[in-house]
Amino acid sequence: MRDTDSPARVAILALPETSASVIYGMYDMFMSAGRDWGLIVDGSPGAALIHPQVASLHKGALICGNGVRIVPQASLDECLGVDVVCVPELLVPPGESLDGRFIEEMAWLRRCYEGGAMLATACSGAMLLAQAGLLDGHEATTHWAYCDVMARRYPQIKVRGQRALVASGEGQRLIMAGGGTSWLDLALYLIARLIDVDAAMQVARLNLIDWHDIGQQPFARLARSRQVDDAVIARCQSWIAEHYAQPSPVAAMSQLSGLAERSFKRRFQQATGMPPLEYVHTMRLEEAKQMLESGNQPIEAIANEVGYEDAGFFSRLFRRNVGMTPAQYRKRFGAMRKALATL
């Protein structure tokens, strides 16, 4: 919480590789803090407690990733001395290199951080901080589809992919939200830090915002299932996609590859980024998620159908990887699927 009565200054970075919903969604939430609760409760708006600005490199209008025209209010040079810089997501494929890109934006982020500002990222925006070297030696999170890329490309970062929000660095001034709508959590967290918890709770109530306390893993899908360049391993990937429930699947893939099992395991991990058994477990759990969402089969039957004779082992594995039990997953996401199907 700040020790000044003047509105907190927040710069929201706009890039062509961002989406308007996150930029303006965060802008609206910051503007709401202190102002809208009184307007709704007694008809008298309060004083705005946060002054957000949409900022870009040259201030001129730009077309963002989804084709929406954004008109920034300030250039980056006009936003030095802000309390917080927010970096929305980057609409850049997970495997695409950032080398040679966003050079001036990253330099500005470093200057802001050195000047005492908090840096807050939504979704894949954390990749920009990683590329700038600002996350070295610190805990971090990003959208689940980018976590493995971050860990592999920047091994000095301690990636916490299961968490929806991470605050790290000196004075916890590096704040990262995971994927999707976890930017809502990020905005609430920042309001609480800049103003107080009551102001954040008022914004949450006005906007009917639920905190993503379950993390990212229940929403994650197999982000590493793309066919790899290694033709032998790609053939095994195609086979296991249809035969993941078969007993001894790793031995079967090894035989299919024509390689010795030890060589196969080493080559599979090198190509896909994960050991073959972990890959099989992930394939099975993805299928189990679909079955839990869409049907009413007993959990024991689902475990057996995806390849586990021991339902207890399946449940423990599911909880360790997904962050909730199969029954909890079905209750949360099965109800969501049914509600959407009736619309």
- What is the pLDDT, as a whole number, of residue 45? 87
- Residues 294 and 331 occupy one common structural domain: yes
Highest average pLDDT, of 34-43, 152-161, 307-316, comes from: 307-316
**0.75 exceeded by pTM:** no
Closest among 24, 13, 16, 134 to 85, alpha carbons compared = 13
- Judge whether 222 lies within some domain: no
Number of domains in the chain: 2
- Residues 166 and 241 occupy one common structural domain: no
- Residues 107 and 250 occupy one common structural domain: no
- What is the pLDDT, as a whole number, of residue 84? 96
For residue 296, the domain's CATH number is 1.10.10.60
- What is the pLDDT, as a whole number, of residue 178? 82
- Judge whether 22 lies within some domain: yes
* DSSP labels, 129-170: HHHTTTTTTSEE---HHHHHHHHHH-TTSEE-TT-SEEEESG
Q: How confident is the model at residue 224 (pLDDT cuts 50, 70, 90)?
A: very low
For residue 125, the domain's CATH number is 3.40.50.880
Q: CA-CA distance, 215 to 224, in Å (whole number)?
A: 19
Phi, psi values for residue 50, rounded to 5°: -130, 135
- Residues 114 and 238 occupy one common structural domain: no
Phi, psi values for residue 169, rounded to 5°: 80, 180
Tell me the average pLDDT across 279-290.
89
- Judge whether 224 lies within some domain: no
- Secondary structure (3-state) at 63: strand
- Residues 170 and 251 occupy one common structural domain: no
pLDDT greater at residue 274 or residue 298: 298
Give the residues across from 56 on adjacent strands. Answer: 75
Least confident of 20-29, 134-143, 194-203, 298-307: 194-203
- Residues 13 and 118 occupy one common structural domain: yes
Residue 223, pLDDT > 70, answer no
- Residues 78 and 165 occupy one common structural domain: yes
Least confident of 2-6, 114-118, 129-133, 320-324: 2-6
- What is the pLDDT, as a whole number, of residue 230? 85
327: containing domain = 231-341
- Judge whether 3 lies within some domain: no
- What is the pLDDT, as a whole number, of residue 213? 57
- Residues 125 and 235 occupy one common structural domain: no
Residue 268, pLDDT > 70, answer yes
pLDDT in tens, 112-164: 999 999 999 998 999 999 999 999 999 999 988 888 889 989 999 998 887 77
pLDDT averaged over every residue in the chain? 86
Residue 91, pLDDT > 80, answer yes
- Residues 69 and 144 occupy one common structural domain: yes
Tell me the average pLDDT across 234-249.
89
What end-to-end distance do the CA atoms of the chain give, in Å?
A: 43
- Residues 209 and 70 occupy one common structural domain: yes
Tokens of 276: 């073959």
- Judge whether 290 lies within some domain: yes
- What is the pLDDT, as a whole number, of residue 104? 95
- Residues 179 and 319 occupy one common structural domain: no
- What is the pLDDT, as a whole number, of residue 293? 81
* Contact (Cβ atoms closer than 8 angstroms) between residue 300 and residue 312: no
- Residues 243 and 210 occupy one common structural domain: no
pLDDT greater at residue 175 or residue 205: 175
Q: Which of 190, 216, 242 is the last residue of a domain?
A: 216
